[in-house]
Chains A and B, each alone.
Chain A
Amino acid sequence: MPEDGSSAAMVADEPVVDIHDIQGDILAGFRKDHEQFSFLRIAEPAAARRGLRGLVPRLSPLADVVAFNSLFRSMRQRRGEIHGTLSVTWAGVAFSATGIAALVSPEEVESFEDEPFKLGMAKRSSLLGDPTDASLPGHPARWLFGGKGTPVDAVLLVASDDPNQLEHTGEALLELLTREGGFELVYVQRCHVRHDARGREHFGFRDGISQPAPRGRLGPGPASFLSPRLVDPADERALRFARPGQPLVWPGEFVLGLERQAIPPDNDLAPLPPDPPIPAWARNGSYLVIRRLRQDVDAFAEFTRKAAAELAQRPGFAGLTAERLAALLVGRWPSGAPLVRAPASDDQELGADDFASNDFGYANAHPPTPLRAGVDHPPDRFAAAVADGNGAICPVAAHVRKVNPRDQGTDIGGPRATLRRFILRRGLPFGGGPDETGDRGLMFACYQASIDRQFEFLIQDWVNQVKKPTGEPGGHDLLIAQAQSRESGRMRRAVLVGSDGSEAAIEADTEWVIPTGGGYFFAPSISAVRDVLSE
């Protein structure tokens, strides 16, 4: 029964998730300014298992992370401060297939259902569109970790509000795992939010705005939703969105062994029963994809400058600037303001509004989503999104439209079919430094219940394809696509629609997002680390 008499009456009861067993980064996100990814190789399995035993009490459960995030939010709101209100350091761990084989057995790995996980990212790299020519940057032979010469068995995640705490805890936990010679360090990547452009990735765009909202409860209480419900219950979108533009998804799409998302013709407001995970100890665990993506900021800037200058000569594209072209490729302006709500120019206030900047669709006009009474957020006063079916405002190949088609039907069916394709993104920028040059990029990380159906699907079927998720005018996701084809090599292309309705294709064979490491991991439940993977 609903606690508040809202339209949530039509939603089936949401399950209570095991907040003490699920690692906190998966469903809640560590959400820290500083994070260290330590990639490890198992040198001596018995010692590694002993090291993991010591790590168990240091792993951060969902309960802790949710409680902290809630406290942090409320204190920040009350004090109006962004920095320095509270500080904590979290830890998490995940294992590759080779890691589980070493810690348990190769047979145990075989019982996992996810084929990409079992094969590992390096073997799947060509399927992700990465170069197959070993002389090219981006080929797994050249990766810093997880590649053909640099296998990894585990990743230790340490995240903190405070860089000093990060360093201290990171060192202590690494020492714990390596002191008996169980684990050896392969590579460490420190990540930090950009000091000069908080919340933005290195091309200059605000990142991480749109995330799915896992359904589920933290406990039996009335205000216990894992994803707080902020939409006015009188609006029917309250059934399917936690807050404006943030779709609710049953948690089994992210955590194994939980209730799964139903899609039409089944009622999406009721879950499908959980699939018993194989092996059984995989329950409450999640697949973690990590991909170190180096960004060549100069190459991207050069491309947008040249392409915009060329396009500007054509009718329908007069006055096109490099900044606007970059926004067309992303689907948002640098501030995060979506093109369909700010077609003409960037709108800093819209971009800074977490709700309004995520409240839009593409196929149909989208009036702003009203908020539940009592939600402390200014009313949405920005222009509503209009229908943009053919991509006249936001190109159909724009990055944010490719990876999240929102209200559009796609090559896999109506928009609700997309609910099974979402991932929980947990990335942070790396590199940069004071002069913002050199090796810099994004440490992409995401959690899901199926690498095959979620991360790989998004990359292979949508990002790297010209006519998917929707048909023409089409195009690759020029921001991040890795295209490798026999006919056109590394060439990627996208079609833009001009103000007069004319279409113009732009092409690029220079690369500005280059994979330099990565792996497929499984982030087990804390009890599985304690009872199965350690001793």
Chain B
Amino acid sequence: MTPNAVMDALQVTTLVFVAAGATVVVRTRDRVRLVLVLSVYGMLLAILFFAFQAPDVTLSELTVGAVALPLILLLAIAKVRKPEAAQPPQPPQPPQPKARKPE
């Protein structure tokens, strides 16, 4: 295949992934899961910018969108969490016997 066709295929694939990633980010409701999905979306965007021949923007998006922004979000989420959600650490339970034998 010609180099242009290869580049086109790469860009179309990454664009489809980015569109799917945006849908997943919007549809996630749980906060901590949202942060992780946003981090993956940032990495997908970085790959897309790389396919658009923009390494500068890739570096920016990687450091900000995949590291700094989820970090700031996690700190804010930890701040507004309900008090009863923060339990004291449970001691590790000994492994219980799994299957109940039929009597």
* Chain B binds chain A: no
Q: A-side interface residues toward B, CB under 8 Å? A: none
